[in-house]
Amino acid sequence: MSKYDVTIIGSGPGGYVAAIRCAQLGLKTAIIEKYNTLGGTCLNVGCIPSKAMLDSSEHYFNAVHNFKEHGISTGDLSVDLAQLVERKNSVVSQTCDGIKFLMDKNKIEVHHGVGSFVDKNNIKITGADGEKTIQTDKVIIATGSKPNFFPGMEPDKKRIITSTEALNLKEVPKHLIVIGGGVIGLELGSVYARLGSAVTVVEYADSIISMMDVSQSKELQRILKKEGFKFNFNHGVTKVVNNGKGVVVTATNKKGEEVNIEGDYCLVAVGRKPFTTGLSLENIGVEVDKRGMIPTNDHLETSVPGIYAIGDVVKGMMLAHKAEEEGVFVAETLAGQKPHINYDLIPGVVYTWPEVASVGKTEQEIKAAGIDYKVGQFPIRALGRARASMDIQGMVKIIADKTTDEVLGVHMVAPRAADLIMEAVVAMEYRASSEDIARICHPHPTYSEAVKEAALAAWNDSPLHI
């Protein structure tokens, strides 16, 4: 029987990164994945395919709407959805193959099949080629999450779909109804809106991306409305029916009235739930909480010593980079090191165009905490770079402590905000003040100048270009 120092169950960004770090630190490592490809949700049906489709649809949108002004004539344009999906599939398979390469390079043994606990040191693997059991000293559970839904909106995967089916549609919907104005709803809604679908978002809360800074939800909402998105806020969906030709979504509005919306597809994007099915956790006494998450201590160790859990299956934001940090954290802990994760500085991004990115506290949170603060904001349209590129929407907002000037939160809607936000993450990791950022030389012409200008505005209300 094979015997390992560490066995990781699940090969998403949490699991495969944990495996690499364990192997780098000299631990004999195995990884178990129930699907044929490695990479988990993120690589197969999440981050990577959605970004591939976002980029393709953005090229199309720009060709249709913006090329003319750049002096480029294109003639009639059309979308070949099958080719768009094919390119996405090829990006996914190249990326997944890359993980297989990294496993081999680091001498990590990969077992395909469902991993389940016989006891805390014996893991049964049930795969296409039968059953086997491996022995292990420690285990890291990295089994991720699955799409959530509420009673009445069960996906039939044909017209009532989750993100997974939305990444593989055979036709561009005429009218896509999206339940949930969160990250998935807006990213995949953007893909189809750009390809020509009418998109209606039905959202329980009174704004989109309600967990982010209020300035971002307002700005993005304004931009998406211009792209043709329709929003129904304060609408709780109670029922979705596939009538063969299309879907009817029933929601209750703020006044308690029932509203019916008809479309041809409905994307259910109301969050994700931790996934532990098949692990036989009961055999080792690891319990899950009422949301299905595995409780862990500060070392990400479960209630059973030697069994750790990371990523979407434990508390915190369901993000690939958070899962990766936790994978490294547990591997280093197992190797006797004393690693640290700064959970306050995990950036969040929504890959609409422009992108939305945040780090630190929102203005709502700072206000609620009773902290005396100041705000500096700068519009993207005031940048030379923005006008040169015809990408003028968005803003950067910096919130700093009124007394100490320490930066408490940075929130932006901007071209490439996903990359721009890293300046703020680094600055905040080193507890920079808004003056520190304002005094750093930023290259011209770039979008990063908006960060400097917002810092100047926050520091002493002295932005230079507005």
Active site residues: 444
- Interface pick for ligand FAD out of 33, 332, 355, 423 (rule CB under 6 A): 33
Strand order in the sheet with 247-252: 236-242, 247-252, 258-263
Q: Which listed option, ligand NAD, ligand FAD, none, makes contact with residue 311 (CB within 5 to 8 Å by class)?
A: ligand FAD
Tell me, letter by letter, the H, E, C secondary structure of 180-233. CCCHHHHHHHHHHHHHCCEEEEECCCCCCCCCCCHHHHHHHHHHHHHCCCEEEC
CB of 174 to ligand NAD, least distance (A): 22
Going by C-alpha positions, the residue among 286, 233, 280 that lies closest to residue 255 is 233
Q: Binding ligand FAD by CB under 6 A: which of 220, 270, 323, 410?
A: 323
> Residue 346 interacts with ligand NAD (CB under 6 A)?
no
State the Cα–Cα distance between residues 354 and 74, nearest whole angstrom.
24
Minimum gap (Å) between residue 335 Cβ and ligand FAD: 20
Q: Measured from the CB of residue 360, what is the shortest distance to ligand FAD in angstroms? A: 17
180 touching ligand NAD, by CB under 6 A: yes
204 part of the interface to ligand NAD, by CB under 6 A: yes
Distance CA 153, CA 155 (A): 6
Among ligand FAD, ligand NAD, none, what does residue 350 contact (CB within 5–8 Å per kind)? ligand NAD
Neighbours of 198 (CB within 10 A): 16
> What DSSP letter does each residue of 277-303 carry, written as one string?
TTS-GGGTT----TTSPPP--TTSB-S
Tokens 């059953």: give the residue: 131
Does the protein bind ligand NAD through residue 127 (CB under 6 A)?
A: no
* CA nearest to 451, candidates 417, 408, 406: 417
- Report CA dihedral (6, 316, 49, 12) to the nearest 10 degrees: 10
Binding flag, residue 349, ligand NAD (CB under 6 A): yes
Alpha-helix residue ranges (DSSP H) falling in 236-369: 320-334, 363-368
- Total residues contacting ligand NAD by CB under 6 A comes to 26
Q: How far is the CB of 319 from ligand FAD (least distance, A)?
A: 4
Site string for ligand NAD, 311-330 (x = CB under 6 A): ------xxx-----------
Among 272, 361, 397, 411, binds ligand NAD (CB under 6 A): 272
Least distance from ligand FAD to the Cβ atom of residue 278, Å:
4
d(CA 11, CA 110): 9
Binding track, positions 276-305, relative to ligand FAD; x by CB under 6 A: --xx--------------------------
Q: How far is CA 190 from CA 57, 138, 329, in A?
A: 8, 43, 35
User: Within 154-183, which residues bind ligand FAD (CB under 6 A)?
Assistant: 163
CA dist., res. 266 & res. 247, Å (int): 7
Site for ligand NAD, residues 220 to 239, rule: CB under 6 A: 236-237
Q: Which residues bind ligand FAD (CB under 6 A)?
A: 9-15, 32-35, 40-42, 46-47, 50, 114-115, 142-145, 163, 184, 275, 278-279, 311-312, 318-321, 323, 351
